[in-house]
Amino acid sequence: MRSARVPLDWDRVTVPRGSVHVIPHRCKECHFCVDFCPKDVLALSTETNAKGYRYPVVAPGKDEACVHCEFCTLVCPEYAIFSVEIPRAEVMA
Ligand code: SF4
Ligand code: SF4
C-alpha cells in the first residue's frame, strides 16, 4: 500500500536533465560548485586557466547526472558556471 506521504502526482513527476557549462577564465577555484552539487557532477580540472586556477569539469561517469537544479550557478561568486535544461524529447530520444 502506498504511503500517505507520497505526493498524489508522483507518477507524473519527472526529474529534469541538464547540461552544465563552465566559463574557465572566470573561475577562481573556490570549489563551491563542486561542494554544493547534489549529484556530484563536478570535479576540478587538472589544467589551470590563465590566472592559474583549476576550474570545474564534469567528473568521470557523470555525463548524464546533472538535474538542472542550478545550485552551482547560485553559489558561484564569479558567474562562471551555468546549466541548461535538456528538453524531455531529447532526453527520451
Ligand atoms: S545544475 Fe545542479 S546537478 Fe547540475 S551541475 Fe549544477 S549543481 Fe550539479
Ligand atoms: S563556484 Fe565558480 S569560481 Fe568557484 S570553483 Fe565553481 S566555477 Fe569556479
pTM: 0.88
Residue 88: per-residue pLDDT: 82
CA-wise closest residue to 19 among 44, 35, 1, 42: 42
CA-wise closest residue to 57 among 71, 41, 38: 41
In order of their start, the domains of the chain are 25-92 (3.30.70.20)
Residue ID of nearest Cα to ligand 1 atom 6: 72
Q: Which residue has the cell 547540461?
A: 19
Which atom of ligand 2 is closest in space to residue 28's alpha carbon?
3
Using CA atoms, how far residue 72 sits from 7, 90, 93, in Å, is 27, 23, 27
Residue 9: per-residue pLDDT: 87
Question: Taking a C-beta distance cutoff of 8 angstroms, is the pair 28, 49 a contact?
Answer: no
Residue 56: per-residue pLDDT: 98
pLDDT in tens, the chain (93 residues): 566 788 888 888 889 999 999 999 999 999 999 999 999 999 999 999 999 999 999 999 999 999 999 999 999 999 999 999 998 878 777
Q: 66: Cβ below 6 Å to ligand 2?
A: no
